[in-house]
Every structure is written in C-alpha cells, then in structure tokens.
Structure 1
Amino acid sequence: MSAIVAGTAAPAPSAARRPRGGLWRAILHNRKAMLGAVLLALFCLLAAFPHLFVPWLHGDPRTIGDLPLQHPSAKHWLGTTGLGQDVYAELVYSTRESLVIAVVAGLGATILSVVIGVSAAYLGGVADDVLSMFTDVFLVLPTFPLIIVLATYAGKGNLTVIIIVLILTGWAYGARQMRAQALSLRNRDFLESARVRGERRSYIIVVEVLPTMISLIVANFLGAALYSVLTAAGLQFLGLGDPNSLSWGTMLYWAQNQGALVNGLPAWALSPGLAVALLGVSFALLNYAFDEISNPALRPVRRRRAKSAHS
C-alpha cells in the first residue's frame, strides 16, 4: 500500500468541503486513475451481469461437458477443465466472489483502521498508548503464516471466515497512517473552535476530522482491497478455501491439481492469475492516483514540467 507521509501538511477544513465534482475532474485528468477506474468498472460489470458475457450457458457455469481437457477453440475460448467445464465461463462467473472478497474485506479493514487510528490520535494519553501498542502487535506479527493458521482452524472453506481473517490481519498498517495524519490535525484551529463550542468528541471526530482525511481513507481502502484480493487468491490456491466455490483462487487450485500445464492447457492456469493481477492493478493504479490527487506537492510539479516541455 502506498503511504502518505505523515508530515505532509493537512488540507484546510474548507478543502474537505469542496464540491464533489472537483474530485471527479481530478480523476478524469489523471491517466492512472482513469485506467484503474476503467479496469475496475469492467470487473464490476462482469460480477454484476456474468450471464451477459456467457449467454450460451443459461447462467450455469458448472455445466459438465463431454470434452474434458480441451485446448482453446471457437466453442471453448479458453479450453475446458478435467470435467469438461468451460474455463472462460468459470473465469467470468468467478469475478463476483473475488470482487466481493476485495471490497468487503477492504472496507472492513479500512473501518477498523479509521476507528482505531483516529481515536488513538484524538484521545491521546493512556488510550493512545494502549491502541498504539495493540496496533504495533499486529504490525510485527508474521501475517501470511497467521492467516493460514486462522483460516485452517477457524473454518476451512468458509468464505466469511476468510473475510474476517483478512480484516483482522489487514487493518494495522492503515491505522498507523490514520493516527499519524490525525495527530497533525489534533491542535488545528478549527478543532480548537469545536472544543470551545462544547462539541462532543464523537461529533468532532466524525464531522470535523474525518472529512479532512477522505483522500487518505480512500487510499487505505484501495490498498486494503488490493491486499485482500491477492491474499485470498493465495489462500484458495493452497486449498484453504471452498473447493466448490467459483473464484479465481479456486480455479488456480484445480488447475494445479489437475495438471493444467502438464496437459498443455496454459490458458486454464494463466487466465485466473491474469484476472487477479489485473484487479490488483486496478486497485493499485487508483491508489497511486489518489496519492497524487491528495498531495498538493505533486500536482504543481507535474504542471511545471508539462509547461517547460511545451516551451
């Protein structure tokens, strides 16, 4: 996840209340953001309406054919599996579960990061010490071995368990960023004014602090979603997911188990891996783009270089 330097000056309160169109205009003028948004929109379309892309199966990607382990052809664009199932159809229908894992786990990790990180910075004192120590413990834990242990013993094959495990192991880095940014805002004039007015702490955090951190929150969500989709695919590839589910990681698991590469069917093994990579690229590009959009130091430099190049 790309980090936003904690020392960067926080935006003025008025910047958090700028018209929404300003953010969309910034995305439209950023090539990375546009490419990432187009890729993500394509995956969302595949997840929402998979039957439109595989109309000949009538919504049943598990249809067993009589031609197992077939090479790509006009009838089966990516070949067939060991049971004669169409690889392209499975790839399209697997988009939904993979995208759900990325979005739900990314959103859960982001919410946990915001709650713990911002609360630690604003409350200070003992609360800050306890929450910071809690965050540090999760930061130093060996993540992937912990994920394997939790996913194995908490409920192998259970999608809900996998999502919860991803949330529990993916929030700490974002919480550290949130705390650092919130610390730079804690003594700003607009927060002091809210305290003088007698506003509740919850009101100050939600209404005054969080709107100034929208770009960082979005960047953390995109980074957490990227982490979730890659880690979930790795878990499913190792056989820790539901082998009967439709997801890219499960496709990789069966392709490896049934010797896709040995049988000369690279499309079966490579297509889900490429799909995971492209979804990860979409989140990564949007993440980098939000770093550029939210960091005022990057935009003038780019404009000056563009002007000097034209001159």
Structure 2
Amino acid sequence: MLYFAIRNGKLVAGLSLLTLLLAVAIVGPLLIPGDPNAYVGLAGQAPSSEYWFGTTHFGQDIFMQFVYGLQSTFLVGALGGGLAAIIGMVIGFSAGYFGGILDEILNALTNVVLVLPTLAVLLVVNAYLGVRSVAVQALFIGLTSWPWAARAIRAQTFSLRARDFTDLARLSGVRTWKIITREIAPNMSSYLFMTFILLFGGAILIGASLDFIGLGPTQGISLGLMLNNAARWSALHLGMWWWFVPPGAGITAIVGSLYVMNVGLDEVFNPKLRET
C-alpha cells in the first residue's frame, strides 16, 4: 500500500496541503501568542509587511485570527469527526456481528437519528446554550453525524462475519470483541480510515455553518466566525476582500484536501482504480 500511496499524486497533494495547514494551526499560535480579537492597529488596513492579511474594521490582525481560527477548525473536525467515527464503529460492529434483537434495536436507533434534521437540531441546541465552546460544538456534531457510517459498517460486518477466518476464530474460542478488533476491523481498515476522513470534513463544514450564522463559540475565534464578522460588518461592500477571502480559502483548502486525499486513498486501496 505504501508503494502505491507515495506514487499517487492526488493523495500526496492532498496530504501535503493538509499537513501544511495543520502545521500552521499548531506552530502559529506558539510563534504569535496573544489575543486574536485584540485591537492592534488602524482599522481596515490592506495587507502589508506589518499585517500580512490586513486588519478588520476594528483594527484586529486578520492573519492572527486566521492562524487561531485554523486551530479551532481542526479541533472541531478532529473531535466531532472522531466522536462520530467511534460511535458509528461501535454501533455498526455490534449490530452487524451480533444481529438479532440487538441489531433491530441499534438499527432503529440509527434510523431515528438519521431522519433527524441535523442542522436544525444543532441550531436549536446551540441557540439555547448559555456558553458555547469548540468542545461543546464538536460534541453535538459528533452525536448527530454517525448514522450513515454505522449503517455502512454494519453492512460490511454482516459480510465479514460469515467468512472462514471469522468462523475459525470463533471455533477456537476467541472472545467476541477480539474477533471484531483483530479479524473483522483490520479487513475494513481502509474503509474505516476513509470514513473518518469524510466525517472529519463533514464536521468542519457543519461547524463552519454554525459559526457563520452566529452560533459558534462565544469565546475565541474560528474561520466560520471570521466569515460571520466579515458579513456582519459589510466587508464585501466596503471592498475589504482581505477580511473574508482568507477564512473562506482556508475552509475550502482543508475540506478540498480531505476530499482529494479520499479519492487518492480509494485509488490506492482499490486495485481496479489504481494507476500503474
């Protein structure tokens, strides 16, 4: 897999861009510590050597906000997507392997959450929270984003539990969860990894949507909140393109790199799509 991975242009390009943005999100706040919402300069300055991305309508450093916003955006994606992936795996593996009444109960639960209007639920919940944070936002995103992953993993598990190697492990007295973690899950590792990538990107988009409409964290900054502030204070009409272009480009770059990575991984793991 590594041989084909390092030769796949899509995977390398997507991973390189994502790694660069992640490095900025991790190292940036260490190099430029401070409050990203502090008023540091004159209002509405265009990009310059002093302020790389210019300043806002209130004299805030947009580059500093962008760096800290990247960090918040990655946290929402990692926490929300990771939680959704864990819930989806637990429910999918349990329903697919055990079957019977447990499968019916978990499948019913999955269908209930699946038909819920996710964004509407998140809007109501976030609107009534007194204090909103990145962690709380990621928690609710994770709790509402897992159903499709659970259904897909359940279907894969149904197929793998009837294979010879699974029957052999069961007859050998191997415990159930060891069969799932050592026999079934490794045979789905590529699918599980790509599922996490999709959940990661989905969590980022949902979080950015909530931030943009004003239901993001009450403290700190994120790329979605930067877009919200730019729209609220008429940056487009004032010609302050440097206020809304960086956060929009940042969200697009993160989600786009994840999508390109997913396409590249599909080509690596699927011999029929693999480029010679």
Deviation, structure 1 residue 154:
4.3
Please show how residues 258-297 of structure 1 align to structure 2 within 5 Å. Answer: 258-297=233-272
2:17 to 26, 36, 39: 39
Give the CA deviation at 1:62. Answer: 3.8
1:130 matched residue in structure 2: 105
- Alignment deviations for residues 20-78 of structure 1 (CA, whole Å, 9 cap, x no partner): xxx333321111111111011111111111057xx5x5545444234111222332232
Match of 1:214 among 161, 168, 189: 189
Match of 1:81 in 2: 56
List alignment gaps of at least 5 residues for structure 2: none
C-alpha contact 1:33 1:289 (8 A) present in aligned 2: yes
Aligned to 2:158, the other structure's residue is in SS state helix
Tell me the distance in 2 between the aligned counterparts of 1:270 and 1:249: 12
Write out per-residue CA displacement over residues 139-189 of structure 1, whole angstroms, 9 at most, x where no aligned residue. 222221122112223455232221111101111111111011111101100
Tell me how far apart the structure 1 counterparts of residues 85 and 224 of structure 2 sit (CA, whole Å). Answer: 23
With the length of structure 2 as denominator, give the TM-score of the two structures.
Answer: 0.94
Aligned AA for 2:24? L
| TM superposition score normalised by structure 1 | 0.84
In 2, the alpha carbon distance for the partners of 1:126 and 1:63 equals 57
CA distance in 2, matches of 1:76, 1:154: 35
**Which residue is equivalent to 1:242?**
217
Moved over 3 A (4+): 57-63
Note closer, same or farther for the CA distance 1:66–1:42 as it changes in structure 2 (3 Å cut): closer
Deviations 1:53-106 (A, max 9, x none): xx5x55454442341112223322322112211112211222111111111111
Which residue in the other structure is 2:180 paired with?
205
TM alignment of 1:31-110, pairs within 5 A: 31-51=9-29, 59-110=34-85
AA paired with 2:101? V
Are 1:166 and 1:228, in contact at CA under 8 Å, matched by a contact in 2? yes
- Answer yes or no: is the 8 Å Cα contact 1:156–1:241 preserved in 2: no
Q: Write the letter of the residue equivalent to 2:18.
A: L
The match for 1:251 among 226, 242, 249 is 226
How many residue pairs get aligned? The number is 276
- Structure 1 unaligned runs (5+)? 1-22, 304-311
Which amino acid in the other structure matches residue 84 of structure 1?
A: G
**Cα RMSD (Å) of the superposition?**
1.7
Distance across 2 between alignment mates of 1:101 and 1:32: 25
Report sequence identity in percent.
Answer: 36
